[in-house]
A and B are shown apart, each in its own frame.
Chain A
Amino acid sequence: MVTFQFIPYQDIENLSSAKRINKLINIVKENKIVLMEGRLEKEEEADLIEITMEEISHKFKGIELSVIYPDRSKQDFFHKIKGGFTSVLLGNREGMTIIGPASIVKKIEKNPNKIELFTRDK
């Protein structure tokens, strides 16, 4: 059975980077797949990978991570003309981040119109 846990943006909005990353890692280590509204800062993503590497063991193989921007083409166009105005308003709330344990999630494929998450056959 695969369990998803949704994390709305307001749940992580006011957390420090360290706490935010910890929260995510802890859920993933419970063998759940995180669906997080929004996305991490580049530095946070790097920290997340570092911490993941430190935690790798026989039981914990690491993570699969994917960030999805809805309607990217429009957004890019909008960004171009508005000079990043939307991101000032929405911050990192745009998009969706999926993080799952590598033992469960084989890969996450992004297409313009859909997201496919492939799980491992046990």
Chain B
Amino acid sequence: MVKSFLLNLLKKLAFNPFSRKSHIKLGVYGPPNGGKSTLANRICEDWLGETMSSVSHIPHETREIIIKEQVTIKNKKGKELTFSLVDTPGIATKIDYEDFLKRGMNKEDAKKRAKEATKGVIDSIEFYEVLFKFIK
């Protein structure tokens, strides 16, 4: 689901990416553990040679919005496109504290992760809503 959404987005960008100069925010949205940070890292590594987010098999690894400003990509003709890349916490309707325990986390870390994850979800939704209103 995330993937096809992103592929579509990337396709759209790839279709006509160098024709406008306005500032673009490329946000990665989706459920926890969907590979958002992996994708954001991939883009970042390809064009800046650095990673931006931490990746984990345990859900809710990203619990804060991470923005990488000034990612510039160039096409063969030398035209440039600069955008900010935004990696967001996975949006979930539940936070399973016990799932963290099952994955070998200790009680304290699991509690902390659950608490931060709830905030992360709220931040993601709010960021998305602002962006959405802006687009509208």
Residues of A within 8 A of B95 (CB): 53, 56, 61-62
Bitwise, A51-95 to B at CB < 8 A (1) or not (0) is 011101010011111000000000000000000000000000000
A46 with B93: CB separation less than 8 A:
no
Q: Is B119 an interface residue (CB 8 A)?
A: yes
Asked whether, in the complex, the Cβ of B93 is within 8 Å of the Cβ of A102, the reply is yes
B118 CB contacts on chain A under 8 angstroms: 53-54, 56
Interface string of B48-82 (1 = CB under 8 A from A): 00000000000000000000000000000000000
* Contact (Cβ within 8 A) B129 A64: no
Q: Given A46-B129, A49-B91, A56-B114, are A102 and B121 neighbors across the interface (CB < 8 Å)?
A: no
**B interface, how many residues as a size bin?**
10 to 19
Q: Give bound CA distance, A54 to B129, whole Å.
A: 17
Question: In the assembled complex, which residues on chain B have CB atoms less than 8 Å from the CB atom of A58?
Answer: 97
B6 interface hit (Cβ, 8 Å): no
Q: Give the residue name and chain of the A residue nearest to B98 (CB).
A: A61
**Is A121 part of the binding interface, using a Cβ–Cβ cutoff of 8 Å?**
no
Query: Which parts of B7-56 form the interface with A (CB within 8 Å)?
Result: none
For the complex formed, measure the closest distance between the CB of A10 and the CB atoms of chain B, giving whole angstroms: 26
Q: Does A116 contact B (CB under 8 A)?
A: no
Q: Write out the residue numbers on chain A whose beta carbons fall within 8 Å of the beta carbon of B96.
A: 61-62, 102
Which of B94, B95, B96, B118 has the largest count of A CB atoms less than 10 A from its CB? B94
Question: How far does the alpha carbon of A120 sit from the alpha carbon of B92 in the complex, in Å?
Answer: 18
7 more CB-based (< 8 A) A-B contacts, given A46-B125, A61-B97: A46-B128, A49-B125, A50-B121, A50-B122, A53-B121, A53-B122, A63-B93
Q: Give residues in B with beta carbon < 8 Å to A.
A: 91-97, 114, 118-119, 121-122, 125-126, 128-129
